[in-house]
Each structure stands twice: as C-alpha cells, then as structure tokens.
Amino acid sequence: MKTILTSAACASLLVLSACSHDVAQKTDAPAIKKTALASGIEKANIDNSVRPQDNFYQYVNGGWLKTHDIPGDKTAIGSFYDLRDKADADVKAIIESLAATPNLKAGSDEQKVADLFRAYMDQETRDSLGIKPVQALLSQINGLQDKDQLVEFFGQSQAAGVGGPMILYVSVDAKDSSRYATHIWQGGLGLPDKDYYFNDAERFVNLRDGYSKHIAKMFDLAGLENGEQAGKTILDLETKIAEYHWTRVQSRDSEKRYNKFETAKLNELSDTINWQGFLAAQGVGSEKDIIINQPDFIQGLGKLINDVSLEDWQTYLTFHTLSNFASYLTADLDNENFEFFSKQLSGRQEQRPQWKRGVAIVNQNVGEVIGKVYVSRHFTPEAKARMGVLVENLRSAYGASINDLDWMSDDTKKAAQVKLAAFTPKIGYPDKWQDYSALEIKGDDLVGNIIRSSELSHQRDIEKLGGPIQTWEWLMTPQTVNAYYNPTVNEIVFPAAILQPPFFNMAADDAVNYGGIGAVIGHEMGHGFDDQGSRYDAEGNLRNWWTDQDLEKFKERTKVLVEQYADYQVFDDLNVNGELTLGENIGDLSGLTIAYKAYKASLNGKEAPVIDGLTGDQRFFMGFTQIWRSKIVEQSMRNRVATDPHSPGEFRAVGSLSNMNEFYEAFDVKEGDGMYLAPEKRVKIW
C-alpha cells in the first residue's frame, strides 16, 4: 500500500524540550467558561437495555447501532466515517469554488485542482478514449524480448503506477536515521493477502473463482483476446508469488525486515534478477546499498522469473496495467473493477457517487493544495493551541507513568524518558507545503495526469537520497481523518480533520476530550513504546535501549495481551489475530491509560463536575468508547481481520477498558460481569 511505502514501512496509523515529570495542568489553554461546557456524550446513542458492566461498547453505542444501516455505497459507517464524509464535502466545496473561478492561470495550483477534477468527472471523454490512454504501456509489455527487459520494465513501470512483484521505495534508514536509503518490499498480488490463495474455505474458493472470471471480463472489455486463459494464468502465477510472501505478522518485525545488501552483491541473493536494469530504471543505479525487507521473497521471485514464461509474465502485467488504471478509463472497465474488488470482495453494493471518487483523486494527487484552503476554513488557531496543550499534558503524564512503573529498572526508564522528550508533535497542517509546480495537469488527459503525478512523487523520493532528512514532510494531508506515529523520525502527527467531535470538541468539558482525542494522542505516543516502536531510540534508530531483564518482562506482558485479543470472536468462525494487532492494541491500552492520568492531573486535585448526571470519570470512559462506534459489512470485516493491524472497533474499546482498574471503579464492575477480568489477568504496560 502506497501510504506505508512513502515513508518508514512501519509507520503506525490510528485507524500511526525536556520531558517534565510534573503532570500539573498547563495554564496557557484558551480560556473557556466551565459553565458553558457540555458533557460531549452523545446520549441518544446509549442503549439502556445493556448494562455498562456487561458490554460497555454496546451500552454507549447500542442505540446508534440499532438505528443506523450501512448504505449500499459504503462498507462501513461510524465516527471515523462520518468525519470522512464531512471532509469529503468540505473538499468538494473547495474544488467547486476553484473550478468556478474564471480564467485560472495555466500552471497554477488552482488550475491543477480544477482540471484534475474535471478530467475525472468527464466520463464521456473517458469512454470515447477506451484503453488508448494506457496503450503505450501495453505496447511496451507486448514488446518485451527477454527476462532482463521484463525486470527492467518492473522498474520503469512502478513510477508510472503499474506496480509489480518488487516495490522499491525511499525511506529513512532504520539503523542510521540521519540518511535516506532505498528499500524493496514484496508485492505482486491482486488479492488482499497470501492466505486468499491457499485457504480452502468456501468463501476463499469462490473469491479465487471470481477473481479469475474478473480477469477474463477485463480482457474482454478491453478488446484483448484469450481472457479466460489469462484468468487462469494470472491466478496460477500469483499463487506461486504468494507462496514466497511473508505473512503480515512476519513483516511486522522491524529487526527481521532490516536486511541491508550491497547493490554490487545483489546477485548473491538472486542471480536471475536483472538488478542493474531494475535499479537504473528506478533512478537509483548509483546507490551503494539497499534494504530488502523480505529477502526470502526476493529469492523466490528470482526462481519465478527464471521458471515462468515471458508470455505469462506479459499476460500478468497486461492485466495489472488495466486493473490499476481501470478507475480512470471507461465506465465499463471501472464498473467491472468495482464488481469484483468492491462488491464481491468487500461487500459494497453500489459505487460511491462519482464526485466522491473525484475528491479522492484530487486528495491523492494534489492534496496539500486543498489542504491549505481546508485549514483556513475549518481549523482555528484556538483549536491548534488547545490541542498543543493536550499533547504536552499527555507527554507529562506519560513521563510520570514511566517513573511509576514497578516492573522497569531505572536504566530503562531513563532511556524511555529521553525518547519521550524527543517526540516531535505535528498538529493540524505542515509548516512547509509540497510544491506542485513541476506537475502538469490537463483537463482532457486523466490517465496522463495520474501517471505524471505518480512519476513526480517517485522523483521526489529519489531526490531525497544523499540529502538531509525532510522533517517538515507529512505523510497525510490536513483533510485526512487519521493520525500516525513515524518511528524513524520519532514524530506524532494529528491532521486537522480528526480534530473535531467526537474526537475533539471545543465546546465540551475536558473529560470527553481527554477520553477522545487524548486517547488518540496517547495511542500515537504509545506506538513509540509498542512491541515494534520500542525497538527505536530517541533519534529514530533501530537500536535496543532496554536491559535484558526489562525486555523480557515487557514481552511477558505483551504476550498476555496477544492471548486476550485472540479470544475475541468477530464471527463464529473468526477471531481477532492477537499477534497481527498487538502494536495497535498496545497503542490503545497505553493511550487510554495515559489520557486518564493526564485528565486527572488537569483537575489539579479538584473533583470534576457532574454533567448530565455523569461523573468526570464516567464521561472520560464514555468519550473514549464513542469514538470507536462503527458498523462494517461482513465481507469487509473479514478482509480487515485478515489484513488490518487494528482490532475491530468494539474490541478496541472493550479490550482496553477491561484492563483498567479505574474503569471498574467508575462503573462498579464486579466478578461475574461481562467486562470483568480478574485483577491478575489485567495488563498494564505503560
């Protein structure tokens, strides 16, 4: 996925000054009259037929769950998705205002936004062009003469957006965070994960059959011959590729992924791959070293390049070219792409409105142009200031919590405090915006626009090599509803669009804000100390800063968390993958724990007011739980459990709360209640 590969491969999403040990409330928050603040709890969503002690998620969100259905053009609804819909509408308004401006200057950012959106929305022109926009790529594929040219094409075509079995990207060197390095990640699959090629359950058998038929239909719609045979050939080849893929759990391991090779000696890894041609085509032929994330995969791929016929590889590349560009070509190809990947695979019953898909295209390609206008309209200086206060209060609370840990030695605590103090928070929007002056956008050349944008993005990455770390860079636009932690630069990032209710409510009492956005802040900080983030030091280097004894105690605690979440049943035949979701579960538990400490410290020893009949502690835990409100269609949920490092929303809430003693006190949870875990089974890490 592109988001991962544009920076550190292990950057952790939400859905990723010396540290003070004093957790006293900061005094520079914007002044708000306490009497004017609401509880921030969406009481209409509460289901009073459920005891909070039995299932707190259902209690807080059950009323909403009973009264909201998933529309046909969505696979999920909930707190995150509501904000994303709002962000889409806000971006649409910006695009429309720019498009309505007369005489836009050619080459201006405004012209690029308007013409990119127009080009996407002009379905008549797209239909009239057929597959002509990708014909040059298809001709290149058909003209390949040997396996060396094949591998060279893998390199050439990635920059254009075709993709292939080896994905090259540039990111910070995890063991030398002062430099950028080239990396290679495994790729080449059309289905979501390797298990989809081997699982014999009926659902997977049907998906493989549907995939093969989809490939045949795409060939037919494109006017290409032998579609049915192409479906069989490609499924067979991708199954062979999948055999060599690491599992997602294996690929989570930061240490195992770090395999640096001299480029001059890559033939020792595989001598059937045209390394010189591949790297030169990517623009990195002069690099002295490269980091291979999954070297076993590369060895296996080398065997496949040797054993699989050139004709079969050409068939494979032809389909993936059509597939990757289908959304920009004819309505028939676009709809067929939807029928398999969105409908059959993910359970979406209807295409999203075309304007929403157009907004996504603009965000993906010129997102920071939109971001400048978005923050001027939708993100106030007061919100940024209050968010800054919350971040520092969470940092102070984290520092105090580290000092209070009874299982960690002083030496490791000191190293942890150094890392915490070095966190760089980014709030709302970048201090420096991306420059799109080199990007040419035409109102009648959609595919060309996408290719030129992809090539510019690739060139930007290549130009980082040998230069200083671009600490100003963001991996998300301000209008993105998400957050992330990036371990190699030790930063926590909160785009403007997530800083809205129910996560962040300027009109609400502190309790719900600490339970909402406070837990999000703590979650991203927690990624710096999860099972993978904790392997990186304060400067972003993959280096062990733990004593052996402390590291063993840490692993013992995380093992219990793995087992807890592995017991959560999503469907009768499917449980949460406790190993895959471990990092996010640590982030959730740590975030909630630290946010609670920060909230209590903010009261300066006073009792919180009772609002709407709820104590401060009750509002805090309810504020946390309502942000995970969601409904997801079954097919999509099954895909997520297989591929997503986040647990489903219900278990993100219930799992964290069940481990917190303070929650038991706030809602009088006792033995025999559904939310009860015996004290000795409760996990406290940070």
Per residue in 407-431, pLDDT (tens digit) is: 999 999 999 999 999 999 999 999 9
Residue spans in the chain of domains classed CATH 3.40.390.10: 40-69+392-421+509-686
Pairing state between β 491-495 and 484-486: antiparallel
Side-chain-side CA neighbours of residue 447 (13 Å): 24
C-alpha distances in Å from residue 540, one per residue of 178, 526, 535, 550: 9, 15, 9, 20
Is residue 71 within 8 A of residue 58, CB to CB? The reply is: no
Side-chain-side CA neighbours of residue 639 (13 Å): 18
Burial class (CB in 10 A: 0-12, 13-18, 19+), 145: exposed
Residue spans in the chain of domains classed CATH 1.10.1380.10: 133-328
DSSP letters of 46-65?
--TTS-TTT-HHHHHHHHHH
Q: Which residues of the chain have pLDDT under 70?
A: 1-10, 16-37
CA gap 453, 447 in Å, rounded: 10
CA gap 146, 149 in Å, rounded: 5
Per residue in 369-410, pLDDT (tens digit) is: 999 999 999 999 999 999 999 999 999 999 999 999 999 999
Residues ≥6 apart with Cβ < 8 Å to 175: 258, 260, 541, 542, 543
Domain covering 133-328, topology: Neutral endopeptidase; domain 2 (1.10.1380)
Q: CA angle at residue 528 from 400 to 289, to 5 degrees? A: 150
Q: CA angle at residue 432 from 469 to 527, to 5 degrees? A: 55
What integer pLDDT is reported at residue 197 of this predicted model?
98
Q: What's the predicted TM-score (pTM) here?
A: 0.93
DSSP E strand boundaries for 160-217: 166-173, 176-186
Domain covering 40-69+392-421+509-686, topology: Collagenase (Catalytic Domain) (3.40.390)
Termini Cα distance of the chain: 31
What integer pLDDT is reported at residue 5 of this predicted model?
38
